[in-house]
Amino acid sequence: MSNSSWFTEAHEASGSSIGFRTRRLLHEEKTRFQNIEIHETSDWGNLMVIDGCIMLTSRDNFLYHEMMAHPALFTHARPANVAIIGGGDCGTLREVLRHPEVGQAVQVEIDERVTRLAERYFPELCEANADPRARLLFEDGIRYMADCAPDSLDVVIVDSTDPVGPAEGLFNAAFYASCFRALGQGGILVQQSESPIAHLDLIRSMRAAMRKAGFGALHTLTFPQPCYPTGWWSCTMARKGAGLSDFREDAAQARPFATRYYNAGIHRGALSPPEFMRSLDD
């Protein structure tokens, strides 16, 4: 690749694209599940691409990983047992294990090669992989949740790719019902829910399916994410029981670890939806 090459992902649904200037292709392989590329960029560190879709860059992944982990964990009273479905780059696992209350975090990624390439090209995201509280499984997350013992988990984080291919089955009421059964009372499910600008209908359908599965309280949090379509992303929390408007704010303010985006004020602000999203439950 020449020094002036760019990797660009065109997003047909929003009529837009996002691109990064690249220096060279570091790695490419086709696994049993998908095609994975790792590029070195000029300004954004390394770039992971799966099936032509940008997954993360070294420079901005903290936004996504922190918002996938900390709002849910600071909302739960005591998040001791956590399951991460997907999340093969291990960034969400790292953030989860920053919480001293967590006794065990199981990461269930269907494609082991995502994790092995992250260990090589994004080692900073894999710092917690050797933590004795971490358990890495390489199997089907849908089957794993279906087989989970009832009331055995406090938080389930669905850190998946877009709802196509291996991830398609993670966006329906049957999967959410498995999560609901596995969570104890007051347990929280959080799932990445795409762009609020480009995918509002998907967010609405996810929330309807979560309600059908039995979840009583829902909230969609938004945050910036420059490498994803439209540059604005979201995750949706659902609770087995009532109440997502309050969180352990004092604990979030006094957290014993550093973050780059998340803080108690960001959390509080994300609980107030933009006007156009107030109709999600209509």
**Residue among 89, 111, 154, 159 flagged as catalytic:** 159
**Cα–Cα distance between 229 and 233 in angstroms, integer?**
8
Exposed (0-12), middle (13-18) or buried (19+): which is 53, by Cβ within 10 Å? middle
Transcribe 125-142 into DSSP letters.
GGTTTT-TTEEEE-S-HH
Query: Three-state SS for 7?
Result: strand
Exposed (0-12), middle (13-18) or buried (19+): which is 189, by Cβ within 10 Å? buried
Which residues pair with residue 36 across a beta bridge?
29, 50
Transcribe 201-216 into DSSP letters.
HHHHHHHHHHHHHT--
H or E stretch at 143: helix 141-147
Transcribe 56-105 into DSSP letters.
EETTTHHHHHHHHHHHHHHHSS---EEEEEE-TT-HHHHHHTT-TT--EE
Annotated catalytic residue 159: yes
What are the residue numbers of the active site?
A: 159
